[in-house]
Copies of this chain bind each other. A is one copy, B any other.
């Protein structure tokens, strides 16, 4: 079985394992107050050109999302998200378990538009009964989105404007941020994100680390007492230096970018090949998640050899599958997949 089901099915880049072995018997203080975290924090601030940013390291993405939102929102506030957003669909109501409604707006290709947010807020405050409704307090977006799509600079600037106007925190979930930045269609960079967001995360789990997300906090009120809330929500790792070590390694010598380039390179190879073979896609994704559409029969046969995920039946009887590449994907597996799909599509069958 060759797995294209996700980008978190292998361990970590060998440089990380090597470094881990080297320092295994060094003694570090606990809970993220160590030299590794300090170095990783310094490197991320530099890459973001944000010397005042606070950077916290958490174990997982769901944890990162709900811990930030718990820290940012007052009890009556909710967070606006695309109805396809991870916090709306795939975190078992973690945000609600913190007491906050996820206000779901209909997404187009996984993205939330500034106009939607603006219109929602305008209606909220224009309504005589607005105190009877959840007040929008934050906007959650992911980049790449859950469908692999990307925000443009203009779209993010527009969201920033809306957030300023309605006093909303803008948070970007960057679980796959590296793949976003490495995409041929990318318009963003870290300094821009640090200037446009109130907080954003840089994913490690899907980008070469064993686990870990770096959360970049730009607004002062988000930084205040954040570590208390981190501890309360289970996000303060005893051996916090494990997170610092991994992010320091990823952020050094361009490793993070290199691993993302690898994943994107192979994903684009798949996209090109399938386009040439006239396969249609659920969505046009310029990143490491590709969503080709096959017949059920084709999916069934391919699944005997390859593991896909997020297999969704479409209304027309066909089926979309998700193919993920990652830093660890082997080029020969991609070649084989392409060949097998092509064979599958031969008219002779």
Residues of chain A whose beta carbon lies under 8 Å from any beta carbon of chain B? 1-3, 5-6, 8-12, 14, 17, 20-21, 23-31, 59-63, 66-67, 70-71, 74-76, 78, 89-94, 96-102, 104, 128-129, 131-135, 205-206, 210-211, 225, 227-239, 242, 307, 309, 328
Contacts and interface: CB of A to CB of B under 8 A. Distances in A.
A90 B132 contact: yes
Contacts of A59: 59-60, 234, 237
Given A17-B20, A205-B239, A228-B76, A134 B96 contact: yes
B9 A91 contact: no
A76 B242 CA distance: 25
Nearest to A328: B25
Given A59-B59, A97-B233, A239 B11 contact: yes
B63 A8 contact: no
Given A101-B96, A232-B75, A242-B211, A227 B10 contact: no
7 contacts: A5-B29, A10-B26, A10-B28, A59-B59, A60-B238, A92-B231, A97-B232
Contacts of A236: 60, 62, 131-132
A206 B237 CA distance: 12
Given A78-B93, A91-B231, A135-B225, A27 B9 contact: yes
Pick the 3 closest A-B CB pairs, nearest first: A63-B234, A76-B228, A11-B24
A96 B78 contact: yes
Contact of A100 (B27, B90, B96, B229): B96
A231 to B, nearest CB: 4
Contacts of A206: 238
A132 B61 CA distance: 13
A311 B239 CA distance: 21
B21 A9 contact: no
Identical subunits present: 4
Contacts of A28: 9-10
A60 B234 contact: yes
A91 B232 contact: yes
Contacts of A309: 128
A233 B328 CA distance: 29
B27 A132 contact: no
B24 A9 contact: no
Contact of A232 (B3, B94, B128): B94
Which of A20, A62, A96 has most chain B Cβ within 10 Å? A96
Nearest to A234: B63
A133 B90 contact: yes
Contacts of A21: 17, 21
Given A102-B101, A134-B92, A211-B239, A231 B25 contact: no
A93 B93 CA distance: 14
Nearest to A11: B24
A24 B14 contact: yes
A25 B208 CA distance: 11
Nearest to A232: B92
Contact of A75 (B31, B97, B242): B97
A237 B211 contact: yes
A16 B98 CA distance: 35
Given A60-B238, A101-B93, A231-B92, A9 B23 contact: no
